[in-house]
Structures are given as C-alpha cells and as structure tokens.
Amino acid sequence: MIQNENTAAMVMAAGLGTRMRPLTATKPKPMVELNGRPLIDYTLDRLATHSISPIVVNVHYLADVLEQHLENSPIADVIIADERAELLDTGGGALANLEILGPDRFFILNSDSLWIEDDTDNLAAMLAAWDDDTMDCLMLLASTDNSLGYSGNGDFNIAADGQLLQRACDEKAAYVHTGCCLIHPRIFAGAPAGPFSLNLLWDEALAHKRLFGLALRGQWLHIGTPEALTAAEEKFNRS
C-alpha cells in the first residue's frame, strides 16, 4: 500500500468511446462491464486500495449514467468534474482541476487502464521511482509484444536512466503507454486555455529530457474494442 497522504489522482472518463460501439450506444465507455463490473470500478478500486485521495473523475458523454454510478460509489473521495458543456480533452481536463489535485505530483489514469500484476505493486513502484528534480512526468509503460489486445507499433523506448526515447516513424518501439502516469503540475506552465491533449505537454517534457518511463510488471489489457473486452474477460478468468 502507498503510504502517502499527498497523492491525488485524476481519472479520465469523459471520452466518446466510439471504438467500443455498439456497447457505448447507451452508456459511456467507463460503464462498459468486464465480468459484470464497470471498467472504471477496477481503476477506482486500485486507487482506493492505496488510499489515494482525492480522486477527480471527469464526465461528458452520457454523463448522467456515469455520475449516478459515481454518486453511489463506496469510494468517499470521488469528485466529479463536469465537462458536459465542453469536452476539454486530457490536457485541458487535468488543467481545469489542478487546484483540487494539489501542488505535488499526482496520478492520471484512463478509466479503462487495466493490468494484471505479478509480484510488483506498480503504483507503489512509480512513486518510489519518482525523482522530483529530474522528472515532470513518469509513465507506466507496457511491453508492446506482451500486451493483450494491442497490435500497434508502440510509443517509446526506455534509456538506461529511465528517460523516454520517442519511436521513429519507421520503427517498432519496445513499450506502449498504459494510460497511467505520475505528473507534476509544473508541466502545465504555459499550457493553452481550453481543450488540448496531454501529448502536447509530453512532447515538451520529452524535448527537455524530463519525460521518464517505468516498465509495468505484469500484463496490460488494452480494451479498445468489444473484441478486446472479450479477450480481457477470458484473461481475467484464467488469472
């Protein structure tokens, strides 16, 4: 368990979930069920197990469905960030909630960031690896070749000191971003107003050699399509 009272988290749950249709025709992607439980509950459970607080969850698409579920959640410190009027994207959504998330590094997770751990607590490992002097962001990365439901060319390679090296257009990288990272509020200095992607800030951190990565111990489950959801259920049932 993470023994740190100053660790907050933001869960990105406002996306449109278009690749998960028809499952997302009547519910937002975070409410799509894996083995009878909404995807977002797995993320919230992982955070609650580590006493991470507060937890901010943004809502937009079919927000009422997700908001009602969160209001009935046994996790006490869930704060809903309402993006019904305007979808702020990942960067804008986090920027709008920095006052709640606090002055220290905090977690950002996609609502469907699922993985099966081996003998390592990956969130605790991320906090242990964090170096405030050198890092603006620390990503949890999964093996490109050993991630269930993922068939892309990856995002990054990891240097010996943990710095990230961006994949060249014509190569396959060893690692893919799991949708989970530790990030410091200073990375948002100079960020634009309104909607923007976290990719903008990660590119800046990469250019200044302040973007780092930690390899996930276990297996990442990339749940991007209904078919990937079925494969993830089968994997969960075997583990």
Interval 206-221: pLDDT, tens: 999 999 999 999 999 9
Domain interval for residue 147: 9-238
Alpha helical stretches, state H, the chain: 39-49, 63-71, 89-95, 98-101, 122-129, 198-207, 226-238
- Asked whether residue 2 is domain-assigned, the answer is no
Residue type, 31: M
- Asked whether residue 1 is domain-assigned, the answer is no
Interval 77-131: pLDDT, tens: 799 999 999 999 999 999 999 999 999 999 999 998 899 998 889 999 999 999 9
pLDDT (average), residues 49-54: 90
- Asked whether residue 4 is domain-assigned, the answer is no
- CATH code of the domain in which 183 resides: 3.90.550.10
3-class DSSP string for 164-227: EEECCCCCCCCEEEEEEEEECHHHHCCCCCCCCCHHHHHHHHHHCCCEEEEECCEEEECCCCHH
- Asked whether residue 117 is domain-assigned, the answer is yes
Specify the number of domains making up the chain.
1
- Asked whether residue 23 is domain-assigned, the answer is yes
Question: Residues near 106 by Cβ (< 8 Å), separated by ≥ 6?
Answer: 7, 8, 9, 10, 182, 183, 185
- Asked whether residue 43 is domain-assigned, the answer is yes
164 exposed, middle or buried (CB, 10 Å; 0-12, 13-18, 19+)?
A: buried
- Asked whether residue 164 is domain-assigned, the answer is yes
- Asked whether residue 49 is domain-assigned, the answer is yes
CA distance 56 to 79: 5
CA distance 57 to 110: 10
* Number of continuous H segments (helices) and E segments (strands) in the chain: 7, 13
pTM (two decimals): 0.94
Averaged pLDDT score across all residues of the chain: 92
